[in-house]
Each structure stands twice: as C-alpha cells, then as structure tokens.
Amino acid sequence: MTQSLKRSLRSVVEATGHQIRKTDVYTSQKLRHRLLFSKLQIELVVDVGANTGQFARGCRAAGYKGKIISFEPSAAAHASLLQSAAADPLWNVADRMALGASNGETEINIAANSFSSSLLPMLDSHLSAAPASRYLHKEKVPLRRLDDMLPSADRRIFLKLDVQGYESQVLAGAAQLLAHTVAVQLEMSLLPLYEGEVLMSDISTRMTGNGFELWDIEPSFRDPATGRLLQMDAIFTRPSFRQSTPAAAKPPA
C-alpha cells in the first residue's frame, strides 16, 4: 500500500471519528491478555459474573484454549450464557447462582442494561452516570461460596470477578481457591456506586495482603457528562508465579 493511499484511508476513517492505530500492548487489551495468559501458563479461567459470556469469548479471541467455568446469577443472562458456551466443550457453565461469603439464598437486582445487575442497592452516583442501568426488578437466587463450588481446583487459575460492588464478599468465600490463583481480574470503584461496596484503595490493600501485586489497569466506566473515571478493571498477579515463558514457547495464535 502506497503512502498516499494510507494517508487517504486514514483521512476517511478519522472523518468518522475513529482512528487507525498499530496494535501493541498500549492499544490492545486482547494482546495484553494473550501475553499474560501465556506467561502465567493459565490452566483454568474462573469467570464470576459472566453475564452472557463476553469475557470468556474475549479469552478465546486472545488465544486461550484451556478450560473455562462461568458463573452468572441473572436468569435471562444465564440462559444466554448457556447458548454462548454450548459449542465449546472446554467452557462449562455452572448452575445459576450468586457467589459470596456464605451459603443460602439472596436477591439480585436486575438492571435494564443487564450487566449492571447487582446484589447491592445502586447509588445515585451510578444511576446519574448511566441511566440505562436502572433496576427493573429482583430475582431470588441461591448464594454459594466459591470454595464450595470448586473445592479441589488444583490448577493455575485466572479468577475474573465482575460482580458490581460485591467483590469483597466473593473473595471472602474463595480463600482456598485463591491459594491456586495466579491472577485476579476485578472491578475497582473510585467512589461508591453501590451501597456497601469496598472501594479501590481497600480492594488493592486486600489483594496485596493476599500476596498479589498490581499488573494492569483498564478504565471501564466514566461519567459521560464530566469524563470522570468511576470504575476500572485491575489485574493482580502473584510474583512467585510470574515465570518467564520458555524460549521455545510462543503466545497462542
């Protein structure tokens, strides 16, 4: 492709409000996941708060070919999740349940946009920044500890939590699982978005206390009226498991 053609193509694309950028670790979360999964030699992805399977599909797109188990409490999202995983023999979907610090039954608030559904009441700070996240109704759902669902998961685990403010409770019920977990991806709020949620500084301190170090952050939720960052995705890894990839090995294609 000639330089003049490249410039013309770039001008056409930029006129639509988009940009053409070279894919690298600065611009591609998929590439960063690919490199991290390869470096840590992940054997099992535990996808908590799977919604309809967006994260698991992203793992596959990044080249991860290992086992995935997904958990989702919303009835409609869980039904879609089962459909998403149906053709993938290494992607299992657990029975519909919420995960937390104890076993029992609870209620989940179902949001209009589905992915903002939470066991916690939503605060005005969240609703004003995302009116489409308003709650529509509640659903009863079993509540289980992750340690009871995966009691013998003796594998190199990547734990992903997308539970809308309920991260601290899920971690409290996963102490045994964390012993085999080499990386954790979770949401951290910079200011309260759900009643009773634990904020970024305390979540970070908790992860550090469990032997993890911050590896990566990705902005995820902003107030569109002000541009203020409200929430981010963070990845924490165990330093003792960050072994160099063997010279002969390459990240999955």
Instruction: State the Cα torsion 193-53-81-46 to the nearest 10°.
Output: -90
DSSP letter assigned to residue 181:
E
Q: Please report, for residues 64, 75, 226, the alpha-carbon distance to residue 72 in angstroms, rounded to integers and kept in the order given.
A: 21, 8, 32
Backbone phi, psi, residue 151, to 5°? -75, -20
pLDDT at residue 252, rounded to an integer = 40
pLDDT at residue 179, rounded to an integer = 86
Q: Please report, for residues 49, 165, 221, the alpha-carbon distance to residue 142 in angstroms, rounded to integers and kept in the order given.
A: 14, 18, 28
- In the chain, how many domains are there? 1
What angle, 0 to 180 degrees and rounded to 10, lies between the N-to-C axes of helices 29-40 and 54-61? 80
Any idea what the Cα angle at residue 167 is, between residues 60 and 69, rounded to 5°? Answer: 30
Residue 250 counted as domain residue: no
Per-block mean pLDDT, blocks of 10 residues, the chain (253 long): 55 57 79 93 96 97 96 98 98 98 98 96 96 97 96 84 97 93 96 96 95 96 96 94 47 39
Residue 104: strand, helix, or coil = strand
pLDDT at residue 19, rounded to an integer = 56
CA–CA distance, 170 with 182 (Å, rounded to integer): 17
Residue 101 counted as domain residue: yes
pLDDT at residue 253, rounded to an integer = 38
Residue 137 counted as domain residue: yes
DSSP letter assigned to residue 243:
P
Q: Which helix (H) or strand (E) element contains residue 9?
A: helix 3-15
pLDDT at residue 206, rounded to an integer = 95
Residue 16 counted as domain residue: no
End-to-end CA distance of the chain: 25
Residue with tokens 């998961």: 153
User: Could you tell me the residue range of the domain that residue 58 belongs to?
Assistant: 31-241
Residue 162, token pair as written in the block: 């997308």
Residue 86 CB partners (closer than 8 Å, separation 6+): none
Residue 140 counted as domain residue: yes
C-alpha torsion sign, points 170, 60, 232, 141: negative
* CATH code, domain carrying 106: 3.40.50.150
Residue 114: strand, helix, or coil = coil
pLDDT at residue 5, rounded to an integer = 54
Residue 6 counted as domain residue: no
Residue 22: strand, helix, or coil = coil
Cβ neighbours around 79 below 10 Å, total: 14
Residue 175 counted as domain residue: yes
- One-letter amino acid at 123 equals L
Residue 161 counted as domain residue: yes
Residue with tokens 């490249």: 6
By the 10 Å C-beta count (0-12 exposed, 13-18 middle, 19+ buried), 123 is classed as middle
Which pTM was predicted?
Answer: 0.86
Which strands form 104-111's sheet, in the order they lie side by side?
98-100, 135-145, 104-111
List, in sequence order, every residue forming a beta bridge with 48; answer none if it has no partner: 71, 161
